[in-house]
Structure 1
């Protein structure tokens, strides 16, 4: 039975809401919405804080098996098909995007997920970051559109 044959929209929306809440609460509990904690992780020559590495390790420990199971299933729990990227090639665009992401993360001490959580709690640094992120997304959409 396909997702079109039954009402998957409500289940998918509820699943997304619950996953987002768990993700956001996890970021808050781990202190990842605090830009100073992220900067302390990146400060290898100073007062290095390794706790972010532990958070990343825990995320990989949960995410890797879940991804392997999802790849075998091909459908989400709601029945909707899972869409995987069409390519897994490592090219200049991917490397360039990773470098830009890393530079922004290092300068701001935030990345998109924690920034949105921090924005929800009224962080002014997060508001600036999210505005810049949305501007960058708009610029990318403008430059990357088919000619």
Structure 2
């Protein structure tokens, strides 16, 4: 129960950050896909850089989780094609919906109720993937 509350608080903080930085803004996403502004690329690049640095610090200093558990990073996958295909599908969905999974819930929390259609479609897509995953090339 304690972990659930901590995760909920982190999620709320993440949502506020997404909304205030305009990362959940359809207009900012539209600008990004039209290569008209650096705003979203700056946010994504900063997140990527911080993630890389954080992972290297965790590995180098063998930092454990808040609960004292060892943090494990799975080995890298060698197939580029599957990541390229997945990235293309993700990008198309992001461009069509105007939101990726993080901002979808941020927009719902901000009161943009039409995003419920996108959330329901993403849940349906996840369900269909679960049904078909054993038949797909991984």
State the TM-score, normalized to the length of structure 1: 0.77
CA distance in 1, matches of 2:77, 2:131: 24
Partner of 2:46: 58
C-alpha displacement at 1:101, in angstroms? Answer: 0.2
Per-residue deviation, 1:142: 0.4
Computed over aligned residues only, the root mean square deviation of the Cα atoms, in angstroms, reads: 2.2
2:97 to 108, 112, 123: 108
SS in 2 for 1:95: helix
Q: Identify the residue that residue 117 of structure 1 maps to in structure 2.
A: 106
Distance 1:74 1:143 in 2: 37
Greater shift in the superposed pair: 69-78 or 21-30: 69-78
Residue by residue over 1:38-61, the C-alpha shift from the partner in whole angstroms, topping out at 9 and shown as x without a partner, is: 0111113xxx12211121122123
Contact 1:70 1:76 in 2 (8 A): no
Shift of 1:74: 5.7
- For structure 1, which runs of at least 5 residues remain unmatched after alignment? 1-8
Which of 90-99 and 24-33 deviates more? 90-99
Q: Distance in 2 between matches of 1:50 and 1:84?
A: 31
Q: Does 1:26 align with 2:17?
A: yes
Q: Which aligned runs of 4 or more in structure 1 are off by greater than 4 angstroms?
A: none
The more displaced of 71-80 and 98-107 is: 71-80
Residues 23 and 89 (structure 1 numbering): CA distance in 2 closer, same or farther, change over 3 Å?
Answer: farther
